[in-house]
Structure 1
Amino acid sequence: MEIELKQYLQILQKKIGFIAIIVLLASVAAGLASYYLMSPLYEASSKIIVNKSNDTQGRDNMDYDSLRTNALLIKTYKEIIQTPAILDKVVEKYPELGLTSTDLLDMISVDSTIDTQVMTLSIKSKSLENAAKTVNAVSEVFKNTIPSILKVDNVIILNEAKPEDHLAPVSPNLKLNVAIAFVVSLMIAIGLVFLLDYLDDSIKSERDITLYLSLPTLATISNVKPEELTGKVASKSQRMVGDTVYANANQ
């Protein structure tokens, strides 16, 4: 027999304090961990535009096919920019960054908007200044190296990263982490309450007798408050049997 929705709500209502404690502890722990334990990460980005080789066409001859071709080239460039052909040169040319190719690969991300010629190159680092220097270094090396790889000179840096443009860290996100902890802990707490209720085989109501023991219920005794008994008890400790009044033996 399936438990009705009302019974689910009754189970949750009985354990609402237990659920609230778990959710509160999890949310506070997530907030404290995000604020004190997680190192802040800063992000700096630069934008690169991809054009057709400028030795064959001028700006006046740009059409939709040209834009489409350049957009497709970006997919190739996104792969090239994350290869050792670029990253190794960045490490070699900018040793002051103190990074390896593997470090750069973990820090870098390249995004582009569909049907555009613009790529956004982003770097995340524990230092805002280091993030800006690194992303500018990768952009510059990529611009100077791509002509020797594809025999074209069609990459232009639109803007370089500036530390003053990104003052706040992008990670950790305190509000997001607390919200995730709140939702996850709430789901876990509710699931735990239902699990404990399922494992509890004690008899708590007349319904449990019928459900678990397969026995009929002959009578039930309801909870009665003391004030409800006022005026309902026979005065002078007398009892009525039929039409005769009997008194207690101590009268």
Structure 2
Amino acid sequence: MEENTMQQTDEIEIDLWEICLVLVHNLALIVSVGIMTALGTFLITQLFITPKYESTTKIYILNKQENNAVTYSDIQLGTQLTKDYAELIQSRFVLEEVVQGMGLDLSYEEMKKKVSVTTPTDTRILAITVEDTDPVMAMLLANSIREAAAVHIMNVMDIQAVNVSETANMPMKKASPSVMKNTFIGGVLGIFLMIAVILVRFLMDDTIKTPEDVEKYLQLSTLAVIPLNEGEEDGKKKKKKVKRS
């Protein structure tokens, strides 16, 4: 049993070593494919993918009692209601009002895809982020949604005021796509794809090429090796042209 285990271990080590040799032998091809796929991804990202910009505005909501004194229950209740506020901001009433007010040719579903609402951990601040291909339009939409949502929240939730924590910014850099990230991912995928192709071809190739393969797979010893004449071309020689004097 121990001898069989040692033989299997040796065979596995030899196979892994052969795989490493195959990969090293094709290293130039693997690197070339990685560079080509990275370059292709870079060109596709630069030329065919439309960049998008993000603009963010923030609001602060605090529910106060009639005596205008802020209590701990007010703060705790406000924290629990942040999800409700987020739903109201992305409601059909608010987004369609913004679309009609700005004269946009967008449906409610299309507008909702542009808007995201997030809440920083342990805060009652709501961040409204709008994504658009035009940076100016992204800023205008974010501010318009904030204003319409503030009125809607006060009417529905009976809130006294919705304070502006931060107005929408003018995005100077595109949020997506990331050229460097896409180029890196494209190069890595190209390398792994080429490695997979090489390994599949190596594992599927069961032909015997060397005397070592004969001893390994057939358990036979070779008596002699007949060399091939690599100089012949299809067993024929080209005819020489005869020059007439």
> Scaled by the length of structure 2, what TM-score is found?
0.79
Residue 185 (str. 1) matches residue 185 (str. 2): no
Which residue in the other structure is 2:119 paired with? 112
Match of 1:217 among 217, 221, 226: 221
Which residue in the other structure is 2:149 paired with? 142
Which residue in the other structure is 1:80 paired with? 88
Which residue in the other structure is 2:205 paired with? 200
Which residue in the other structure is 2:38 paired with? 27
**Which letter maps to 2:202?**
D
Secondary structure of 1:29 counterpart: helix
What RMSD in Å do the two structures reach over aligned CA positions?
2.2
Which residue in the other structure is 1:89 paired with? 97
Q: Quote the Cα distance in structure 2 between the aligned partners of 1:13 and 1:125.
A: 46
Please say if residues 143 and 157 of structure 1, whose CA atoms lie closer than 8 Å, have aligned partners that are also in contact.
no
Q: Quote the Cα distance in structure 2 between the aligned partners of 1:55 and 1:93.
A: 34
Q: Which has the greater radius of gyration? A: 1
Secondary structure of 2:165 counterpart: strand
Match of 2:168 among 151, 161, 164: 161
Distance 1:62 1:6, change over 3 A: farther
How many residue pairs get aligned? The number is 215
Please say if residues 53 and 153 of structure 1, whose CA atoms lie closer than 8 Å, have aligned partners that are also in contact.
yes
Secondary structure of 1:67 counterpart: helix
Gaps of 5+ in 1: 224-251
Q: Quote the Cα distance in structure 2 between the aligned partners of 1:144 and 1:41.
A: 29
Please say if residues 108 and 121 of structure 1, whose CA atoms lie closer than 8 Å, have aligned partners that are also in contact.
yes
Secondary structure of 1:55 counterpart: coil
Distance 1:210 1:153, change over 3 A: farther
Q: Quote the Cα distance in structure 1 between the aligned partners of 2:29 and 2:105.
A: 50
Distance 1:210 1:54, change over 3 A: farther
Q: Quote the Cα distance in structure 2 between the aligned partners of 1:67 and 1:38.
A: 44
- CA drift at 1:90: 1.5
Q: Quote the Cα distance in structure 2 between the aligned partners of 1:204 and 1:181.
A: 35
Secondary structure of 1:204 counterpart: coil
Which residue in the other structure is 1:68 paired with? 76
Secondary structure of 2:81 counterpart: helix
Greater Cα offset, 12-21 or 47-56: 47-56
> Scaled by the length of structure 1, what TM-score is found?
0.77
Secondary structure of 1:122 counterpart: strand
Match of 2:26 among 7, 12, 15: 15
- CA drift at 1:156: 1.7
Distance 1:81 1:193, change over 3 A: same
- CA drift at 1:38: 1.0
Q: Quote the Cα distance in structure 2 between the aligned partners of 1:112 and 1:171.
A: 22
Please say if residues 211 and 222 of structure 2, whose CA atoms lie closer than 8 Å, have aligned partners that are also in contact.
no
Residue 49 (str. 1) matches residue 53 (str. 2): no
Distance 1:98 1:159, change over 3 A: farther
Gaps of 5+ in 2: 1-10, 228-245
